[in-house]
Amino acid sequence: MQRRPLRLLARFRGLLGPDAAAARQSLIALALSTLTSLAAGVALGAITGTLERLPGLLVLVPASIGMRGNIFGALGSRLSTSIHTGTFGLSRRVDTVVGQNVLASAVLTVVTAVVLACLAKVVAVALGLAETISVLDLVVISVLGAVLSSLVVLAFSLALASGSVRYGWDLDNVNAPLVASVGDVVGLPSLWLASLVVGLGAVTDAVGVALAGLTAVALVVSLRSPLRLFVRILRESIPILCLAGLISILAGIAIEKRLAAFSALPALLVLLPGHLSSAGALGGVLANRLSSKIHLGVVQVAALPGREARTDIAFVIALAVPVFTLNAAVAEVAARLIGVASPGLSLLVGISLIAGLLTVTVSVLIAYYGTVAAVRLGVDPDTYGVPMVSSSIDLVGAFSLILAIVALGIM
């Protein structure tokens, strides 16, 4: 009887693959991601009044928060490849690999913020959410929120890359979960702070017009820059990030239409950021590992995953059950701490596991075949991998969460 748990543990370790260090790094990063998503979940549960006061803001929330993970997750993936290939080095010079990546991330932050605001308004009206705040209000909230949160996420991303070099971590294993979790933690408070500027009438409109104009000028000047890597990152990133933002906005609309039900049981809102973050992080870990191994020639591009790719896929799937169980437990504890209604721990665990496993299955498919498609189209899989996974997971994750809630009879 005593040997059975040991055999089960051995099988679990076998699924994680031969690299014990990678398993430890990913598990620690995912656990930290879940715990830090607690803060994002608590914040989302606590600002229900703001979401109801500013209709349409919830449409922007998944897209805005997810964009931090998209931009800086891709930044981390590119930095990881530069570490593996020996071209990484911190410097104040803009023309270095790191300098051009940082500059590109800064420009992408403001450009995508304006695009997200416009998309959120257009899609919300097109899909029947006509009584939303104005597009200039959304521009102000989106841009100011993006800038505030991106300063923190950028500093963290560079520190994480530097720490990976110094302490021998594999950035591919920790980048996606940790960057996504930091984006979650600082994203919601940043949007809430930015929302305080809304409602000032002509002042808000003037700020919105100024921000949109400055962003357009910055984009035009950037695309004419002599820095080739910088321009290449912008040209490759803008289309996929805009598509990713559109998909995430659809996720926001799905949640906005169920806002009344989520408001009745705010513990579900507490669970939401951790659910989306964990699913995206698991897919991001897979995309990052595959991208680096393709650059190094370890993984071959093929219609069906080879042995090395299958090991990475099993690695990610094996992590899903403990991660989503922890998400539910953390959401229940948080709900009790802040005194909001919950369907109960057992139902939260059921919701989290059903929705999580559905989402991770899709995440694995997108991570593998998205990476394969990027290589075959001649673009950098480091730039495309994380945005493709995280944005798709925002939409799939939102629908799978709603599906699990309905299936268990809560809505």
Count, residues in the chain: 411
- Give the pLDDT band of residue 107 (cuts 50, 70, 90): very high
State mean pLDDT over 299-313.
Answer: 77
Query: DSSP secondary-structure letter at 54?
Result: S
| Cβ atoms of residues 198 and 208 within 8 Å | no
pLDDT given for residue 181 in this prediction = 74
pLDDT given for residue 18 in this prediction = 45
Instruction: Find, among 82, 62, 44, the residue nearest to 180 by Cα.
Output: 62
Helix 97-126 × helix 57-85 angle, to 10°: 160
| Cβ atoms of residues 364 and 283 within 8 Å | yes
Spacing of C-alpha 59 from chain mean position: 15
State mean pLDDT over 182-190.
Answer: 80
- Give the pLDDT band of residue 52 (cuts 50, 70, 90): low
Query: Alpha-carbon distance 204 to 198, whole Å?
Result: 6
What are the Cα distances from residue 331, in Å, to 41, 42, 281? 8, 8, 18
pLDDT at 6 over 60: no
Q: Which of 27-41, 96-110, 262-276: highest mean pLDDT?
A: 96-110
Residue 83's contacts (CB-CB under 8 Å, 6 or more residues apart) are: 161, 164, 165, 171
Tokens of 251: 């996720």
pLDDT at 302 over 70: yes
Question: What is the per-residue DSSP string for 80-95?
Answer: HHHHHHT-----S-TT
Helix (H/G/I), strand (E/B), else coil: 196? coil
Global model pTM greater than 0.95 = no
